Structure 1
């Protein structure tokens, strides 16, 4: 890490608690205790991440912050299922929100006991079903802004409660696949992690959604059965949605459901975000002095670590 940063670095902290026979609250308290014992609350950035169904976290999403902040970070998560995300949601959709709420509230309670000038920057993150769980902790954009110092949600799932609100109540001149909400004052969306459309200054804490216009995980929703979605309308259609794709009652929902099986096949498309989370974090929570050249070096490094 020091070779990348060119400065003195520290070993990043990661706290993870598996499922076992513990309740979400017991897991969360164990995670906080572990985090505290390792000095996680003494770091500059504390990332409360929510995993997908089997307990997986996007390595690029975690490592990006670690490299950007020279290891002065801590990441904490808990596992809530042994099942793939789609099975976990169908079998027990309550598990992700319950686990995410237990974890965040336990971390937040301890974080609140610290002197204000000694608290780490508290951020939230999650991908796919992990974003669904993490989102469910907060009841509004204001709640997110009041209790965090930023957040990144990658490949949000179609059932995400806040995401649905932001997209449905988007500014009139913005499309569903890349919406602006409240002119981008606090919540923003990006297709690549680099461009974040908005007409107002994006004030911290910045909450970002990284989503692709052709991600079936994002667009799969029961409403597809009976109504044509905005993202398939001519004026709302993203550049990667083929003109040949049309809405057919019942059929389109099955089609998008099947597409999820192949959603990870192409880097930078569908549900495969490659190194884009690193680019996104560089806009959401960059350390002082971070440059575009640093972001390019980081994405190159993360890409090499995956292929090596």
Structure 2
């Protein structure tokens, strides 16, 4: 009964009105379309956050002993405020259906069902109620603890100690379920994504393949992402069938995290395998950094092997088993260290070869792979016998080099697709821009591939209180013109967009795919005798789906 009385007595109408305003604003569109479950969760959380904000403001107001309305004036003010808030909320629900469908049409998705918002409303009510009850329970626990402490110490000290005791109790109650669940998820990710050791399929028998009996890389330690990369690319026959000319079998080298104890050991193993396969005799050498799980996008690598007739070698070294968001949190430095060792080891050997008798060297990465490979491609490697170029797709927002280039864009060029000087060194490509515009390329070619609707690229941690640069400009491809900046709310929307970035259709969000890689690769690697007709044929040959390559026969 005491708990039920606490639920009613603690309820605040002004805070509820602020919560409803937070809910109304959360219905505005962001970068990725939201289904009813996602929208309902966002709305419920934002409503609870708005209510909590209101309660905090009320407590501060009371502590400062500021005046407040009473009697008839309070009743009129409450009625007027309620009418305004309900009108805003009703309009937001009505307009948000159109906002979501407008965004879906821009991305070529099916329109939302009419029952969409009924499910949203039900989920918001349930989630807010659950969070309100939990908050009330925590508040009641604090009052009970504080009341006990009042008997033995002054009120101010009791208040501080009461907060600490409740926080400690909350941690103890959750650690036995929350922490084991997180680690269980990580363990499951490790087991299912890698299929290491006894779960590995039979090793290839062809000596030309990494992981074969002739290889210095153990197949059972390579991991599933590496085995897929080694086995599933186009071979010489597939390339010849497409080009009509004799082709070579592309060289693909992959070193799994379990293949070596340290980043340096794994990098050395990669170099040994490249030397075994005579990779430095090829025309093109790509040093690629994988994503968190070790995955490499076939939509990027397959087209490149077709356009160079298989006369290409690609090497990658794994640094994590975790999904990219988890790797970003738990293994950020691990990825940077591995990419640095890999690039340094291969670049140092490559520099010893005669400039006229060595492959052209390029750096590549997607997502966290873009971040780590940019970090590894430092100033000394760009200036002192530098690489020939790089293609970085979907670079995460913390990437230092990406931020440096973005902030040095030409005045007036948009944040989502900047222009840098005359375009002879750095260019940008997207779903609608192929990176071919600019002055003739110099000796080094750097290309960024990024979609304006990709929150992993354009998330801004300062959007908690400040409008991101790109929201001050006309919306880019796939971005709703109805998107509005609201402090606090925009931060949560963009954070949710990051989590959902790969669920967007191909060509939007963080769903990069083969057609959008092809022209940037042509610009960066300049395949001999390649024409625009070849580009269009290769685009037609490649799959259009996200995470699909071009090895479709």
TM-score of Structure 1 vs Structure 2, range by shorter chain: over 0.9
> 1:285 deviation in Å?
1.2
Identify, as 1 or 2, the structure richer in helix. Answer: 2
Larger Rg: 2
Q: How many residues align?
A: 307
Which consecutive unaligned segments of at least 5 residues does structure 2 have?
1-238
Counterpart Cα distance in 2 of 1:173 and 1:142: 31
Partner residue in 2 for 1:278: 518
Does residue 168 of structure 1 match 2:433? no
Higher relative contact order (CA 8 A, sep 6+): 1
Select which of 244, 259, 269 maps to 1:6.
244
The answer to whether the Cα contact below 8 Å between 1:141 and 1:186 also exists between their aligned partners in 2 is no
- Aligned-residue CA RMSD (Å): 2.1
Which consecutive unaligned segments of at least 5 residues does structure 1 have?
none
TM-score (norm 2): 0.53
Does residue 206 of structure 1 match 2:445? yes
Select which of 301, 309, 318 maps to 1:70.
309
> 1:193 deviation in Å?
7.3
Q: Deviations over 1:24-64 (max 9, x none)?
A: 11100000101110111111000000000010111121112
Q: Deviations over 1:74-131 (max 9, x none)?
A: 0001000010111101112112211111000000111112122111000000001000
> 1:5 deviation in Å?
1.6
The answer to whether the Cα contact below 8 Å between 2:303 and 2:549 also exists between their aligned partners in 1 is no
Q: Map 1:132-281 onto structure 2 (within 5 A).
A: 132-140=371-379, 143=382, 147-192=386-431, 194-196=433-435, 200-233=439-472, 235-264=473-502, 265-275=504-514, 276-281=516-521
**SS, match of residue 151 in structure 1:** strand
Select which of 524, 527, 531 maps to 1:287.
527
Cα distance, 1:84–1:248 mapped onto 2, change above 3 Å = same
Counterpart Cα distance in 2 of 1:35 and 1:139: 23
Partner residue in 2 for 1:50: 289
> 1:200 deviation in Å?
3.3
> 1:198 deviation in Å?
5.5
Counterpart Cα distance in 1 of 2:396 and 2:498: 11
Counterpart Cα distance in 2 of 1:10 and 1:258: 44
Cα distance, 1:145–1:263 mapped onto 2, change above 3 Å = farther
Q: Deviations over 1:171-212 (max 9, x none)?
A: 102010110112322011111375327653332321110111
The answer to whether the Cα contact below 8 Å between 1:216 and 1:256 also exists between their aligned partners in 2 is yes
Counterpart Cα distance in 2 of 1:166 and 1:252: 25
TM-score (norm 1): 0.93
Counterpart Cα distance in 1 of 2:493 and 2:384: 36
